[in-house]
Amino acid sequence: MKLELTEPAEKDLAELDKKTQRRIKVALDKLLTCPQAVDLRKLKSTPERWRLRVGDWRVILRLDREQEVLYVLRIRHRREAYRG
């Protein structure tokens, strides 16, 4: 499985402090190596969308099973993550 950050996700990550950036990168690495060790849930509202919880931050993901690519769509604070 391959991981790709979209442009909005890269921008979201760049705006965070270094400690939070590091925590999110570690969680994404852990997701690829050992998915059962992270808090990953499927979002009910949208198909093929998942969320990874990293403290108060949410990483919104889309899984492309055919290409075997996991796209990081957004990285948002929990109070903003699920708004349209």
Instruction: Enter the DSSP assignment of 23.
Output: H
What CATH number was assigned to the domain covering residues 2-77? 3.30.2310.20
Cα 32 to chain center, whole Å?
11
Residue 47: pLDDT band with limits 50, 70, 90: confident
Q: What is the pLDDT of residue 62?
A: 94
pLDDT digits 0-9 by tens, 48-66: 899 999 999 999 999 888 8
- The CA distances from residue 84 to 32, 45, 65, 80, 81, in Å, are 27, 11, 24, 9, 9
Of 18-22, 39-43, 45-49, the poorest mean pLDDT is in 45-49
Delimit the domains of the chain by residue range. 2-77
pTM above threshold 0.85: yes
Q: What is the pLDDT of residue 45?
A: 81
39-42 and 57-64 beta bridge pairing: unpaired
